[in-house]
Amino acid sequence: MSPTRFAEATVRRRSLWSVAAAVVVVLAAVGWWAVAVRGPAGDETPFPAGRAAADQQAPVVPGKLPPLGVTLPASEASGLAASRHYPGVFYWLRDGGASGPDTPRDAIWGMRISAGGMPEPVRDGTMFPAYGVPGATNEDWEALTVDDEGALWIGQIGANNCTDEQRLIRVAEPDPTVDAPLEVVATYDLRFPDPKPGCRTSNAEAMIWLDGHFYLFAKTRGTPIYRVDLPGGAAGTAKLTRIGQIGHRVNNISAASISDDRQRLMVLDHRRVYVFTADATLRGDELIKDAVTDRYTGTAEFEAPGGATVEGGTFVPGTRDIAFVAEDGNIYYARPESYGEPPWTPPSPTAPPATWHDPALDDLPTLEPSANDVG
């Protein structure tokens, strides 16, 4: 072997050893993290002793979303929404599954997420409190969102047989620290206007609230998008108008969300999240149509043994981070770096203009009121 080839071979061997060493380090770190979060077998403590949830950081793996290791107490999680009144608090619901005293189906569930992206107790050590909805029956609740006033909306919009009844149910947000049922304050029936032949409506699992309207995403090829116009009063039939579709081979959407800065639209199917860039100066229909005109700008794949089943997701208020819940109980958390964007922090608030001041006027004598002044 020539000296040149010997040197090249040596470099290749060193490179391979370097890669192997790096893989061992990463696997060791991942293994420690998994044990630290899950704890020993049979231990229900979600975090290692002596380390609070706030100290934990959700993992960042570009293009991949590993589960956090803390699982939900009930299966079939479908919708997820962030509270507007209680920082760090989120709500989720189920679209089916067994129902019992500790796993109610006719309920909205609470969850708190730390600044590091990890679940933490909502109240008194309770990780996932349930709030019953006695005025409603869960007939395929698929989505959950929050309006401008902070009220929660249940989207009973699933119709796998394309004939089921569909409706939107508005409930007052609970105080997450209090164990009390939720009051139903409005209910609206709806039907998709253009179902396929032989159907009464279309199946859907995703909806968002934007500029005074709901927008529903049909769970089918191409993902048609519809604006919802609610009738006056606390009941009635809503009108749906198709405004466009996503396309770009993004099909069968199961959740959607708009970031607080209105510059990102997120949708997801069961196994992958897609993030589109939006023009924050536009409103309503035009913002959504503009966002989905071009191909998505970010994406990442959920990782779970046997495949992911993610049906709930929402942007974390004030950030471009995204939280997710899955039907198999897994919880995921994405930062912009996870779906292919650089780290992002909110821009600093604009300082108010300085008040004009002339120091030369500071020493002027105080004027006595004139006899002609009235009052």
**233 vs 44, higher pLDDT:** 233
Q: What is the pLDDT of residues 271-289, one digit of tens each?
A: 999 999 999 999 999 999 9
CA-closest candidate to residue 245, choices 279, 289, 281, 201: 289
Residue 300 pLDDT > 60, yes or no?
yes
| Its pTM surpasses 0.85 | no
Distance, CA of 79 to CA of 85 (rounded, Å): 19
Interval 153-184: pLDDT, tens: 999 999 999 999 999 999 999 999 899 999 99
| Residue 28, pLDDT above cutoff 70 | no
**Where are the extended beta strands (E) located within 219-373?**
224-229, 235-237, 239-245, 255-258, 264-268, 272-277, 298-302, 310-315, 322-326, 331-334
pLDDT of residue 347: 85
Return the bridge partners of 245, or none.
224
Please report, for residues 83, 229, 316, the alpha-carbon distance to residue 214 in angstroms, rounded to integers and kept in the order given. 17, 8, 19
Backbone angles phi, psi at 54, to 5 degrees: -65, -20
Confidence at 53, pLDDT banded by 50, 70, 90: low
Residue 209 has pLDDT above 70, yes or no: yes
β-pair partners for 227: 215, 241
Mean predicted confidence (pLDDT) in 4-20: 43
Decide if pLDDT at 294 tops 90. yes
Which pLDDT belongs to residue 306?
86
Q: Which domains does the chain have, with CATH numbers?
A: 62-339 (2.110.10.10)
CB atoms within 10 A of CB 107: 22
Q: Please report the pLDDT score of residue 348 as a whole number.
A: 81
Residue 128 has pLDDT above 90, yes or no: yes
What pLDDT shows up at residue 340? 97
In the prediction, which pLDDT does 36 show? 35
3-state SS, residue 361: helix
Residue 45 pLDDT > 60? no
Mean residue pLDDT across the chain: 85
CA distance 342 to 259: 16
* pLDDT at residue 57 tops 80: yes
Is the pLDDT reported for residue 47 higher than 90? no
Q: Which has the minimum average pLDDT: 5-14, 52-61, 222-231, 288-297?
A: 5-14
State percent of the chain over pLDDT 70: 79
- Looking at residue 305, what is its pLDDT? 86
Distances (CA, A) of 346 to 163, 214, 261, 321: 44, 26, 9, 11
Task: Specify the pLDDT at position 245.
Answer: 96
86 has pLDDT over 70: yes
CB 312 within 8 A of CB 79: yes
pLDDT at 213: 97
For residue 251 the two structure tokens come to 């099909």
Predicted confidence band of residue 299 (pLDDT cuts 50, 70, 90): very high
Is 60 exceeded by the pLDDT of residue 257? Answer: yes
- Region 209-232 average pLDDT: 97
